[in-house]
Copies of this chain bind each other. A is one copy, B any other.
């Protein structure tokens, strides 16, 4: 069933009605071509899910009736933000889509010395990234939207990292020396806030690695094969889900 994230202020609790406008209105009316009385799911900003029915189409919005609340929680207990060294737009968008699907809480692009792309915090670009994340979260029936942060330069990223309980860098060299065990850290930091930085194609400079280490970042490896920039974040998200969500016995 189709699912839409809505702002709390578009829900009228007393009347049990939701008003949907703009892009989602367009999606319901013109893309899904839904009709009155058709069912859909609504998720509010707290992650509560409601089974609803389309009540009436108006010129610029659709009114939706809440039928019942649905008990589901498919969120990862570990809150993971993926930080990606700035790469080409198509790669960034692919990572956005897949990590949203795999349960990430946040995404941020970081300008590193070997990034070939300049940061661009044009509102239109950031909104496009947010739309991609929203659609992916809706498709995979998440309870929470993945946050998309504005692009950061390296020094602001270091400040940003202070909000996290654990900060990791996927560092190719670390795979061989295996500085820290990803397994041990995932188990230890279950239910915590984790930030994971993945470099751009050219990797990190020595100076960047030094600064990261001095700021409590831990180097981790992701196995013996060389993973592309777009694949490393998926490996990390799948590993955290596998470790913390799948049953050991059955």
Q: Which residues of A contact B (CB under 8 A)?
A: 73-74, 98, 101-103, 139-142, 178-184, 221-228, 231, 234-235, 238-239, 241-243, 245-250
Residues of B within 8 A of A180 (CB): 250
**Chain B residue at minimum C-beta to C-beta distance from A226:** B140
Within the complex, the shortest CB–CB distance from A2 to chain B, in Å, comes to 12
In Å, the complex CA distance between A181 and B247 comes to 6
Distance between A169 CB and nearest chain B CB, rounded to angstroms: 15
| A80 CB → nearest B CB, Å | 13
Interchain CB contact under 8 A, B248 and A183:
yes
**A82 to nearest B CB, angstroms?**
14
Query: Contact at B102–A178, with CB atoms within 8 Å?
Result: no
Which residues of chain B are near A250, meaning CB under 8 Å? 178-181, 184
**Which label, helix, strand, loop or mixed, suits the secondary structure of the A interface?**
loop
CB distance B98 to A181 under 8 Å?
Answer: no
Given contact pairs A178-B250, A234-B238, A239-B242, A74 touches B225 in the complex (Cβ within 8 A):
yes
Q: What is the minimal beta-carbon distance from A91 to any residue of chain B, in angstroms? A: 12
Contact B249–A102 (Cβ < 8 Å): no
| A242 contacts B245, C-beta separation under 8 Å | no
Residues of B within 8 A of A74 (CB): 224-225
Contacts of A238 in B (CB 8 A): 234-235, 238-239, 242
Chain B residue, CB-CB nearest to A186: B242
| Chain B residue with Cβ nearest A240 | B242
Contact of A184 among B103, B183, B245, B248 (CB under 8 A): B248
Please report the C-alpha to C-alpha distance between residue A224 and residue B241 in the assembled complex, in whole angstroms. Answer: 9
